[in-house]
Structure 1
Amino acid sequence: MRYSKLKISSDATSKLRALRQRTGLTPNLLCRIALMTSLEEGPVGGAQAPDEDGSEFNAYTLTGEYGAMFAALLRWVEEGTSPPSP
C-alpha cells in the first residue's frame, strides 16, 4: 500500500499542540515517538477508527526512506504476520 498523506484526529492534534508547547519537540518527531510507542504496546484490536479532522502530514516527512519498514512493522503488530526475510 502506498500513501502520501497521513491524517490524525482532532484530539491527537490538540495533544500534539500541548506536547509541543511543553517539550519544544516538533509534531513530526512527536508522531514518530508515538508510532514507536504504539507498536511497542501491541495491537489495538477492535478499536474504532478515529476521526480524520485534525492535522495532515506528508508521509515521507514522518517516515523518510523507512516508510516500507514502518508499514511492515505496523502490519506485523496488528495482523501478526511474519516480517519479511532480508
Structure 2
Amino acid sequence: MTVALMWEARAAEGRGEELLAWVSGQRLAEPPLRRETFRAPEDRVLVITWWDADFAAVLPELPEPDGELVTRAVHRWRFESVAGG
C-alpha cells in the first residue's frame, strides 16, 4: 500500500522564502519513496511524502518549525492510494 503524508504550514508575513528554505533542509530518518515541496500564495508551504507502508504505520514526519517562523501549528494529513486513481 502507498501512504502519502502531507505537511502544510503558513509562514509569518514576509517569511515564505525562509520557511521554504527551512523545510527543504529538513531530512527524515528514512527516505520516502518520493518527496515533493510546493508553495502557494500567502507564504504557504506544502510537503508531500510517499511511503510503501500500511496506513497506520509509524513513519518519519517533518517537525514543527520555530513558532516565530509560522503563523499557526502545522497541518498534517495522511492518505492512502486507491485503485483507479
The answer to whether the superposition gives a TM-score over 0.5 is no
TM-score, scaled relative to structure 1: 0.27
Q: Higher strand share goes to which structure?
A: 2
Q: Higher helix share goes to which structure?
A: 1
